[in-house]
């Protein structure tokens, strides 16, 4: 493996509060030196005018394999991740079979190794077969390499199961990730319940469905000392509940998706199923609540909830189409265009939410450019303007509402373990 010298880039590494223009040397798969000078042997990458960041991490990705390879495979999902600038992703276990056994965890890891794109960390099921009844074999799954637990796709509805999950996962210092939704309150809902759903005559999903479960989970985390991570927060009230819980010292963290800080329920006026997402796109006030949470640090992480669905499935009527959109290849552009350019976040803050913060929550040895660290690096062109064209996607699915959007900022070179895995130049 030849050495790589990244020359004259603006190195932003929030894990060590670094933000300066320098030459970064990668050798033998590791970060080897700063301020290095070329010696004629290395592969040189001119990073002038570019940002050199720790490889991005997405802790919420649906890879669909095993079971729904028509939507995505581990190979195509990880290729999409690289194109989006991600060097590590965590995959969610609502596959078929669900990731609730050592064998399935091992299968994912093997397929990821074969694909040889980005790093894949496995999030395993909280309950056996995601049925919400009986706790999965948490200890065995940790042994197989699971980094966290969730039944996402479904909420953990039973509070006693949630309590047990917190207690068991605590023994292994793993977080429980929950999709907060009281299903009795959202039955048949296809969008956010509000004025727009009323005007369109579409069944709504009230904010209370999320807020009630978030409050429950915070109470259970507080009671057990467990580690709670709220997935895809979408309401201002839930952001505020997390903010207050953090102040009390509850071990709670949260993430928001790019679509939840970008789009509102008004988009559903088009009746386009690419705006059907769960949790649903909310009103402008909630978008502001999420943005405020990003700004004051209540929201730790930006995660995509990448949810590929074949065109055939998404083409159905709104009430039948499955919820969710692909996100890996538009996330960085939306962060730059909707958060950094308008001045909500600066580069170091935005990058922290896509590098060292998810690494800290999942206890990954990633998300840093410290000397000696494994060389996962993303070179970003912060000024590049580009148009979203799903025909260019590496993902097998193209269910995105951002077709034709002009975004700023894109990953240019992606290095995983010291090897150039993606190069758009």
Q: Which residues are catalytic?
A: 305
**Shortest Å, Cβ 58 to Zn ion:** 11
- Nearer residue to Zn ion within complex by CB, 24 or 299: 299
Does residue 306 interact with Zn ion by CB under 5 A? Answer: no
Q: Which of residues 126-165 bind Zn ion (CB under 5 A)?
A: 152
Cα gap 52→10, rounded to integer Å:
6
Give the x-and-dash track for 4-33 against Zn ion (CB under 5 A).
Answer: ------------------------------
User: By the 8 A CB rule, do 175 and 362 touch?
Assistant: yes
Cα gap 118→374, rounded to integer Å:
13
Cα gap 342→346, rounded to integer Å:
10
List the alpha helices (DSSP H) in 118-274.
138-144, 159-171, 183-186, 195-200, 207-224, 236-247
Contacts with 319 (C-beta within 8 Å, 6 or more apart), sequence order: 188, 190, 203
- Residue 92: which of 110, 80, 104, 79 has the closest Cα? 104
- Nearer residue to Zn ion within complex by CB, 154 or 237: 154
**Shortest Å, Cβ 70 to Zn ion:** 18
DSSP 3-state of 177: strand
**Shortest Å, Cβ 307 to Zn ion:** 6
Cα gap 61→8, rounded to integer Å:
33
- Nearer residue to Zn ion within complex by CB, 152 or 211: 152
- Nearer residue to Zn ion within complex by CB, 152 or 381: 152
- Nearer residue to Zn ion within complex by CB, 13 or 181: 181
**Position with the least CB separation from Zn ion:** 179
N-to-C CA span, the chain: 21
Give the x-and-dash track for 164-203 against Zn ion (CB under 5 A).
Answer: ---------------x------------------------
**Shortest Å, Cβ 279 to Zn ion:** 7
Reported in sequence order, the residue ranges of 291-376 that DSSP labels E, i.e. its strands, are 301-302
**Shortest Å, Cβ 213 to Zn ion:** 12
Cα gap 66→316, rounded to integer Å:
24
- Nearer residue to Zn ion within complex by CB, 58 or 152: 152
Cis peptide before 31 (omega within 30 of 0): no
Does residue 305 interact with Zn ion by CB under 5 A? Answer: yes
Q: How many residues bind Zn ion (CB under 5 A)?
A: 3
Does residue 227 interact with Zn ion by CB under 5 A? Answer: no
Q: Which residue reads 């995601």 in tokens? A: 130
Exposure of 173 by Cβ count < 10 A (0-12 exposed, 13-18 middle, 19+ buried)? Answer: exposed
What is the DSSP pairing of strand 51-54 with strand 4-13? parallel
**Shortest Å, Cβ 354 to Zn ion:** 17
Interface ranges with Zn ion (CB under 5 A): 152, 179, 305
């Amino acid at each position: 493996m030849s050495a790589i010298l990244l020359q004259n880039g603006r190195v932003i590494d929030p894990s060590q509060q670094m933000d300066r223009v320098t030459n970064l040397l990668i050798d033998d798969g590791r970060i080897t030196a700063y301020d290095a000078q070329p010696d004629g042997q290395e592969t040189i990458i001119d990073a002038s005018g570019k940002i050199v960041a720790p490889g991005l991490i997405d802790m919420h990705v649906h890879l669909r394999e095993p079971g729904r390879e028509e939507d995505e495979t581990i190979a195509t999902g990880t290729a999409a991740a690289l194109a989006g600038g991600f060097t590590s992703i965590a995959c969610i276990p609502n596959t078929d079979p669900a990731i609730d056994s050592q064998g399935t965890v091992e299968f994912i890891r093997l397929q990821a190794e074969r694909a040889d794109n980005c790093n894949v960390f496995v999030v395993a099921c909280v309950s056996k077969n995601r049925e919400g009844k009986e706790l999965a074999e948490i200890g065995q799954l940790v042994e197989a390499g699971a980094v966290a637990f969730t039944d996402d796709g479904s909420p953990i509805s039973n509070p006693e199961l949630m309590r047990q999950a917190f207690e068991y996962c605590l023994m292994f210092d793993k977080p429980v990730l929950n999709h907060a939704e009281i299903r009795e309150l959202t039955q048949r809902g296809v969008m956010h319940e509000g004025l727009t759903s009323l005007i369109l005559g579409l069944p709504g999903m009230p904010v209370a469905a999320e807020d009630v479960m978030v409050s429950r989970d915070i109470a259970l985390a507080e009671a057990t000392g467990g580690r709670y991570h709220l997935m895809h927060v979408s309401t201002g009230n839930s952001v505020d509940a997390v903010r207050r819980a953090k102040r009390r010292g509850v071990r709670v963290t949260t993430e928001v998706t790019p679509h939840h800080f970008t789009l509102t329920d008004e988009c559903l006026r088009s009746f386009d199923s690419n705006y059907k997402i769960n949790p649903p796109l909310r009103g402008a006030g909630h978008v502001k609540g999420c943005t405020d949470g990003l700004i004051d640090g209540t929201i730790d992480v930006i995660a995509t909830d990448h949810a590929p669905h074949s065109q055939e499935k998404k083409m159905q009527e709104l009430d039948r189409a499955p919820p969710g959109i692909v996100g890996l290849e538009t996330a960085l552009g939306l962060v730059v265009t909707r958060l950094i350019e308008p001045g909500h976040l600066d580069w170091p803050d935005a990058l922290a939410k896509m590098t060292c913060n998810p690494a800290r929550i999942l206890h990954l040895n990633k998300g840093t450019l410290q000397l000696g660290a494994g060389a996962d690096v993303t070179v970003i062109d912060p000024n590049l303007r580009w148009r979203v064209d799903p025909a260019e996607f590496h993902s097998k699915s193209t269910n995105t509402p951002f077709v034709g959007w002009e975004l700023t900022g894109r990953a240019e070179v992606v290095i995983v373990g010291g090897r150039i895995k993606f190069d758009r130049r």
